[in-house]
Amino acid sequence: MSGTRSPSRTEPRTEAPDGGKWPLWKLGATLYPFVAAAVAINLFLLGLMGQAVGLPALPPLTALLLSVPLGVPASWAAARWLRHLLHEAEG
């Protein structure tokens, strides 16, 4: 028995609303570990530079813990940037 239901109702949507193959949330989730690590490194180095003006050093563990929530908006921005580059590359 062949069904007449629309595939959009039975299958989950795999494309982004603008026609791309990667939705923004999937790009962000894929990039999150790398972006959060970059945020941790940048926070640690910022803490080291803060010593030049008399601030205490930021321990590596503190920088890593702060990068967990700060990595979310950073990965969202990176995902938007990457989606723009993919859209531009497709023509």
- 35-90 confidence digits (pLDDT tens): 999 999 999 999 999 999 999 999 999 999 999 999 999 999 999 999 999 889 98
How many beta carbons lie within 10 A of that of residue 78, not counting itself? 19
Residue boundaries of the structural domains of the chain: 23-90
* Number of residues that this document lists for the chain: 91
One DSSP character per residue, 33-48 reads HHHHHHHHHHHHHHHH
Distance CA 7, CA 76 (A): 30
- Decide: 87 and 20 in contact? Cβ < 8 Å: yes
- 26-50 confidence digits (pLDDT tens): 999 999 999 999 999 999 999 999 9
pTM metric for this prediction: 0.74
CA dihedral 72, 23, 83, 27 (to 10 degrees): 40
Report residue 44 CA to chain centroid gap. 20
Considering only residues 7 and 47, tell me which one the structure prediction assigns the higher pLDDT. Answer: 47
Residue 90, pLDDT score: 87
Considering only residues 12 and 28, tell me which one the structure prediction assigns the higher pLDDT. Answer: 28
